[in-house]
Amino acid sequence: MANEHDAAAMAGDVAHGAAEAAGHAASNAGMPQLDLTSFPNQIFWLLVTLVVIYWVLSRIALPRISAVLADRSGTISGDLAAAEDYKLKAREAEAAYEKALADARAQAQKIVAEARAEIQKDLDAATAKADAEISARATESEARIAEIRAGAVEAVEAVAKDTAGELVAALGGKADATAIAAAVGARVKG
């Protein structure tokens, strides 16, 4: 029952296929790939397609893409060269800057040394002057001190003589001025 049905369906299928294929019997047998009647059609349209693709590629697409690629590699190498150039310039500028900095530093050091030397000279002169003044003052002061000391010794002697004379007189003696002077002088000196 089922088999009969199957066979009928198959037959129907084949008939339908035959109607559809209309004139080329081979297609019903199996693979449409082996249906020789469709070959001229496929080959013709394939050749048309290939020619169109080839034309589009060789006339438009490939020149354009290769131009873009060449352009890009040109731009890239140009940019790289420019970058290298800039790098070199930057390095030069850095070197110049370093040199200027070093020069300035050396200059500054020189100026500082000069100023220091000048100041030292001034300082030395002022010190020498002050020393001289101080020693002059010291000498003067010493002289005055000596004078005062001498004056003081004399005054002590005179006061001692007077006091001694007065003491002798007060004790009821008779003061011999010369003896007193000699005694006091000896004492004071001693």
Partner 1 sequence: MTEEHSEGLAFHPMDQFMVKPLFGDGPIHWYTPTNVTLWMAIGVLAIVLMLVVGTRGRAIVPSRAQSIAELTYGFIHKMVEDVAGKDALKFFPYIFTLFLFIVVSNFLGLLPKAFTPTSHIAVTAVLAMLVFVTVTVVGFVKNGTHFLGLFWVSSAPLALRPVLAVIEVISYFVRPVSHSIRLAGNMMAGHAVIKVFAAFAPLVLMSAVGVVVTPLSILAITAMYGLEIIVALVQAYVFTILTCVYLKDALHPSH
Give me the residues that bind partner 1 (CB under 8 A), please: 2, 5-6, 9, 20, 22-24, 27, 30-35, 37-50, 52-54, 56-58, 60-62, 64-69, 71-72, 75
Instruction: Give the shortest CB-85-to-partner 1 separation in angstroms.
Output: 20
The residue among 32 and 185 lying less far from partner 1, judged by its C-beta, is: 32
Instruction: Give the shortest CB-102-to-partner 1 separation in angstroms.
Output: 44
Q: For the beta carbon of residue 27, count every other beta carbon within 10 angstroms.
A: 20
Residue 15 to residues 30, 33, 34, 133, Cα–Cα distance (Å): 14, 20, 19, 147
Phi-psi bin for 31: left (phi > 0), alpha (psi -120 to 50), beta?
Answer: beta
Instruction: Give the shortest CB-72-to-partner 1 separation in angstroms.
Output: 5
The residue among 65 and 167 lying less far from partner 1, judged by its C-beta, is: 65
Instruction: Give the shortest CB-82-to-partner 1 separation in angstroms.
Output: 15
The residue among 62 and 82 lying less far from partner 1, judged by its C-beta, is: 62
The residue among 38 and 160 lying less far from partner 1, judged by its C-beta, is: 38
Instruction: Give the shortest CB-27-to-partner 1 separation in angstroms.
Output: 6
What residue type is 104 in one-letter code? A
The residue among 44 and 97 lying less far from partner 1, judged by its C-beta, is: 44
The residue among 4 and 177 lying less far from partner 1, judged by its C-beta, is: 4
Give CA–CA dist 182/176, Å, rounded.
10
Q: What proportions of the chain, in percent to the nearest 5, are helix, strand and coil? A: 90, 0, 10
Give CA–CA dist 187/153, Å, rounded.
12
Give CA–CA dist 158/121, Å, rounded.
55
Instruction: Give the shortest CB-81-to-partner 1 separation in angstroms.
Output: 16
- In this structure, what token pair is assigned to residue 28? 């019903």
Q: For the beta carbon of residue 184, count every other beta carbon within 10 angstroms.
A: 20
